[in-house]
């Protein structure tokens, strides 16, 4: 247990039978009335962001979240098998936990996996990864980088929008949070 005065960005709290991460917080001391803490919290499982206000000094339950560096090995049915880089354990993470990160993962991909009481919460990839274009329409003479965009399928099977001059077989950088093309690798 901690008080609302101890809140910090990134701290994970147990509220309303769920886990919430503090995105922002602000201590407010109005001229009249008691002080309070205004927070913006994000549900760890659903990603939903809500505003919540606490009375200053009230107790909140802090959840223990264990973040571990892991390497993605392979897919087994609906599960993804990772290996802990320190203990060499190989937990199977359900596809529902991996979520959209699966679109940017290749074998031997490094990832950070957060656990709470032994249960996997989410998979966090590096901000950008380098992937190869598996298939896209050929570029035409006169295509420029400032022109439009076209769909391209990555080697993982995900489809993103790329500039017209990108060709099949090129390696590109992709933002894992938004799925945007960042440039050639």
Express each pLDDT in 32-88 by its tens digit. 888 898 999 888 877 788 999 988 888 888 888 888 899 999 988 888 999 988 888
- d(C-alpha 129, C-alpha 177), whole Å: 10
**Residue 78: which of 90, 64, 60, 92 has the closest Cα?**
92
Phi-psi region of 31 (alpha: psi -120 to 50; beta: other; left: phi over 0): alpha
Task: Say which DSSP state 33 is in.
Answer: S
Query: Which pLDDT score, from 0 to 100, does residue 147 have?
Result: 67
CA 22, 181, 176 angle in degrees (round to 5)?
30
Name the maximum alpha-carbon separation found in the chain. Answer: 69
pLDDT at 103 over 80: yes
CB 139 within 8 A of CB 166: yes
User: For residue 76, how far is the Cα from the chain centroid?
Assistant: 22
CB 109 within 8 A of CB 98: no
pLDDT at 114 over 60: yes
Domains along the chain with CATH numbers: 2-62 (2.30.30.30), 66-124 (2.40.50.140), 128-184 (2.40.50.140)
pLDDT band at 183 (very low <50, low <70, confident <90, very high): confident
- d(C-alpha 57, C-alpha 14), whole Å: 17
In 39-162, which ranges are continuous DSSP H helix?
Answer: 95-98
Query: Which pLDDT score, from 0 to 100, does residue 11 have?
Result: 84
Say which residue, 140 or 2, is predicted with more confidence.
2
């Amino acid at each position: 247990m901690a008080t609302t005065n101890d809140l910090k960005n990134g701290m994970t709290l147990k509220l309303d039978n769920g886990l919430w991460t503090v995105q922002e917080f602000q201590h407010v001391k109005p001229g009249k009335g008691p002080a309070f803490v205004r927070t913006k919290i994000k549900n760890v499982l659903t990603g939903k962001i809500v505003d919540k206000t606490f009375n200053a000094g009230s107790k909140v339950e802090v959840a223990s979240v264990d973040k571990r560096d892991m390497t993605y090995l392979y897919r087994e049915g609906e599960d993804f098998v990772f290996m802990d880089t320190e203990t060499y354990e190989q937990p199977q993470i359900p596809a529902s936990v991996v979520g959209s990160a699966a679109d940017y993962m290749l074998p031997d991909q490094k990832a950070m996996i957060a656990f709470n009481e032994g249960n996997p919460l989410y998979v966090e990839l590096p901000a950008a990864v380098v992937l190869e274009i598996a298939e896209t329409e050929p570029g035409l003479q006169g295509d420029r980088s400032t022109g439009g965009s076209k769909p391209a399928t990555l080697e993982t099977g995900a489809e993103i929008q790329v500039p017209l001059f990108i060709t099949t077989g090129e390696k590109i950088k992709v933002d894992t949070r938004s799925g945007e093309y960042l440039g050639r690798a």
